[in-house]
Amino acid sequence: MTPISIAALREQSGETPLSASVSAQLQSRQRKETKGGKPFLDLQFADSTGALGVKIWSDSPVYQLAEGMEPAQVVRLEARWTQNQYGIDAKDLAIHHLDEAAREQFFAGDPALREKQARDFAVIRQLCDSITDPRLHDLCQAFFEKLGERFCRTAAARKNHHARRGGLVEHVALMMRSADALCGVYEELNRDLLLTGTLFHDVGKLWENSYPKQGFAQSTTMAGELLGHIPLGIEMVNHMWKELLETPEAESWSELQPATETLRLHLLHLIGSHHGEYEFGSPVLPRTPEAFALHYIDNLDAKLEMVRQAYAVAPQSLPGIYERQFPLPANLVKPAEHYAQNPKNTVIE
């Protein structure tokens, strides 16, 4: 069978069965029952490109094998895959263990995705290097030194958008590019503050949606479960800010404007308000130009990532009309193509 990634499986599978194998790491396993009382296993797998849910019924030949799999085990799933509005289904599923060489290749991840995330991280570093406020500049550099490696292996979410190893880097890079562009349009925006807030807005996810040093199964931490990424982000930035105040460089900050304490509060406000509404988890509503900008930049990038994913996997109910994919609010319609001048209509003088 043709070996493909989870992302490729989502793009290529449809109503016609696709015979393919997918190497994936077990992320979670739950025993459930249908309304009629029939037991089944709900398995969640992941690779470097995304996540995959697989249901295995109690009368399946691989039910006992799946039930005995170790946490975070890496296997090869072979099946005839189909996809509809309810998700991906695996027919005639077979599960095989991987040898050491295959495991090493799996943990290396998708080469194209690794290269893309490396480029995205370089963009983040470049934009942070351009921050002129010494306090915010030093805060960003201290973050990269202490937590840069963990940042690069963290997801932006558990599902819906950028829910993969390194997804937070992809999300933040696009957001920072958007923020930088908007600062050239709206002069009232504090570029240094907005770029720094964009870097740190989801920093609490380093403890909520992170991955181990090797593997593609998101880890769960007590801090992430009890506090969530917004309080964790505020606490982390506060801690790093206090450490910076004890450095020799901080002795010259007393005369800077805005005042250091004011700047700290504005940065923490960006983290606390970036979800935009109380019902979406923000402990405070946006109250500054940068806070409004960050909220909408975050929401836009998340939504457009969901749209990209939906176009890749959603079946068409009619030509050019795609079936609705949760959590998007409605069916998508095929986008208009970019304008390209027709050579036949070009007038040559």
pLDDT in tens, 33-44: 998 999 999 999
Most confident of 45-54, 94-103, 237-246, 338-347: 237-246
Is 90 exceeded by the pLDDT of residue 91? yes
Q: How confident is the model at residue 188 (pLDDT cuts 50, 70, 90)?
A: very high
CB 31 within 8 A of CB 39: yes
| pLDDT for 217 beyond 90 | no
CATH of 2-104, one of 3.40.50.150, 2.40.50.140, 3.30.750.24, 3.40.190.10: 2.40.50.140
Pick from 131, 208, 116: which is nearest to 169 by CA?
116
Least confident of 98-102, 119-123, 185-189, 258-262: 98-102
Mean pLDDT of the chain: 92
Among residues of the chain, what percentage have pLDDT more than 70? 98
Confidence tier at 154 by pLDDT (50, 70, 90): very high
* 9-36 pLDDT per residue, tens: 988 888 899 999 999 999 899 999 998 9
